[in-house]
Structure 1
Amino acid sequence: MTESLSQTDKHPFIRKIESIALFTLSDGERAALLALPLQITQFEAYQDIVREGDRPARCFAVFDGIACTYKSTLGGRRQVMAYHVAGDIPDIQSLHLKVLDISIGTVGPCRVGFVHHDAVRALLRAYPRLGDALWRATLIDAALVREWMLNTGRRDAYARMAHLFCELITRLGAVGLAPDRSCDLPMTQPELADALGITPVHVNRTIRDLKEAGLITLRSRRLMVNDWEGLKAAAEFDPTYLHLTDRDPA
């Protein structure tokens, strides 16, 4: 069954486009985005949405929850390459690349909307500026991967964790989902280890250190930033790579 987005410009998908576009969406562009025929699907935690080697005829947007892009070695060791929050379109590259070279799975429960490539192509033909916005989103995804490479390759564990938390708060804030610099954090310690390139034991110690420094509170998988400037300093966090029109969450 297909359906359209709720008729509101407060939807995270609309907020995401507006947060990165170099123009203000027209009424027609917003209406066209909201009218996309979507197959809404609910996934539970730890499920793959798409897998490496797939040849998809559709792509998807995240509506609720957090997903992750990852790759695995033949021995099953996993590296998380990026997290995806509400409003993101993680596999938009499948419009042009026939075979996926990554897998995308859920971190916690996720609701996503699938849309066939033909519908996306028709949208972009009718509204070329939206094509510019999606191309910009793809370039920003590449910038995010570059920053993650620096994070895991050259920062220590304390800075890596602080940087990840700053990024999530900033990206969720851009779509209205980080009130008072707080957000849900469904990742387990082993999952954070897969993203940061450290052991689960080191994850535990690093979170403890961030708490003891008074920078964060983490309780019942809810992250609260107590000292935003201190957390940014610990992370050496510069949000330029996210290329948001409003770079600092309220």
Structure 2
Amino acid sequence: MPAQKLIERLQALIGLSEADRNKLVNMPNTVKTLADGEYVLREGDRAFHCAIVMNGFLVGQKVVRGRNQILSVYVPGDVPDLHTLHLLRMDHDVCSAGPSTIALVPHTFLSNLLMNSPTLTHAFWRETLVDAAICREWVANLGSRDALSRVAHVFCELAARLEVVGLLQNDQFRLPFTQQNLADVCGLSTVHINRTVQELRRGGLIEWKGGVVTLFRRTELARVAEFVPEYLHLSDGKRPEIRTPPVGAFRGDFRNEARKPATQ
């Protein structure tokens, strides 16, 4: 069902009535399967649909002086171009990172839906505000954190957002990104990304192998990342149980452990 993850996502933000859930279930849509790197919309395009992510990951990105910067990552249940209901012309690209499946819903239907449902209008408006909050956190991540915290923060955030829609199992989630994708998210070179991921691995915090990320000590990873999930504005039942101590309370010990030679 195209709207299933969207319903789960909105339920994590605000309760939906059965009538509102049925409206989402019965939305007219066109399901489309995307290959890695295939575009949903390009900068300058005029949008006539909104895309719901059903499976896989989409990214918002922009090329600046020949370098690609990933501006946002969208997981199942997200609507990466919801803003095009009011801002019709795209100011960045949206494309697939790895294979993905989306459902395209006409603007005309969504506009009528929101005019007739105050609850859904509130839910979608809240969703755009959460998207803005995530954007602010990403600006802080790129501008103020070092490489280790930056990369750890991305893993923590994706785990929290995937957990909301049931795609985090035993602290594992699928991530079909390449190291170049992660470099484009974090504003780092692939060489720097490789070194940073290896440091997290040597510290016993993560494994990233075969397109699957495993978080071994999630609370300690959150400490390294300085990850405080309040900016995701999840309901109490969906908020990760992470207690993050003051900044720097764990970092020194982790770095020392990570630099020790690996034992056989």
TM-score tier after normalising by the smaller chain length: over 0.9
Q: Deviations over 1:128-149 (max 9, x none)?
A: 1101100111011111111001
Q: Deviations over 1:64-97 (max 9, x none)?
A: 0011001112x43111011000000000000001
Cα deviation, residue 12, structure 1: 1.1
The match for 1:46 among 15, 23, 37 is: 37
Matched to 1:12, the amino acid is: K
- Distance in 1, matches of 2:148 and 2:30, equals 40
Which residue number corresponds to residue 108 of structure 1? 98
* Pair 1:169 & 2:159 matched: yes
Cα deviation, residue 57, structure 1: 1.1
Provide the aligned C-alpha RMSD in A.
1.3
* Pair 1:31 & 2:22 matched: yes
Which residue number corresponds to residue 246 of structure 2? none
What is the DSSP-based 3-state SS (H/G/I as helix, E as strand, rest coil) of the residue aligned with 1:108? strand
Matched to 1:171, the amino acid is: R
Matched to 1:118, the amino acid is: T
- Distance in 1, matches of 2:2 and 2:61, equals 28
- Distance in 2, matches of 1:67 and 1:185, equals 11
Matched to 1:223, the amino acid is: V
Structure 1 residues 104, 5: CA separation in 2 closer, same or farther (over 3 Å shift)? closer
Q: Deviations over 1:16-44 (max 9, x none)?
A: 111122xx211100000100001000000
Aligned length: 240
Between structure 1 and structure 2, the one with the greater Rg is: 2
Structure 1 runs of 4+ off > 6 angstroms?
A: none
Which residue number corresponds to residue 199 of structure 1? 189
- Distance in 1, matches of 2:98 and 2:92, equals 19
Q: Deviations over 1:181-220 (max 9, x none)?
A: 1111111111111110111000000110001101011111
Structure-1-length-normalised TM-score: 0.93
Aligned residue runs from structure 1 range 151-166, under 5 A: 151-166=141-156
Matched to 1:71, the amino acid is: K
Matched to 1:161, the amino acid is: V
Matched to 1:13, the amino acid is: L
Cα deviation, residue 249, structure 1: 6.9
Aligned residue runs from structure 1 range 184-223, under 5 A: 184-223=174-213
Which residue number corresponds to residue 63 of structure 1? 54
The match for 1:120 among 103, 106, 110 is: 110
Q: Is the 8 A contact 1:52 1:103 kept in 2?
A: yes
Q: Which 5+ residue runs of structure 1 have no aligned equivalent?
A: none
- Distance in 2, matches of 1:134 and 1:26, equals 15
Q: Which 5+ residue runs of structure 2 have no aligned equivalent?
A: 243-264
- Distance in 1, matches of 2:149 and 2:194, equals 14
What is the DSSP-based 3-state SS (H/G/I as helix, E as strand, rest coil) of the residue aligned with 1:65? strand
Q: Is the 8 A contact 2:43 2:93 kept in 1?
A: yes
- Distance in 1, matches of 2:229 and 2:2, equals 29
How many percent of aligned residue pairs carry the same amino acid? 38
Matched to 2:11, the amino acid is: E
Q: Deviations over 1:141-191 (max 9, x none)?
A: 111111001101110111001100000000000011011111111111111
Q: Is the 8 A contact 1:70 1:104 kept in 2?
A: yes
Matched to 1:221, the amino acid is: G
Structure-2-length-normalised TM-score: 0.88
Which residue number corresponds to residue 145 of structure 1? 135
- Distance in 1, matches of 2:126 and 2:233, equals 9
The match for 1:248 among 236, 240, 247 is: 240
- Distance in 1, matches of 2:67 and 2:107, equals 32
Which residue number corresponds to residue 86 of structure 2? 96
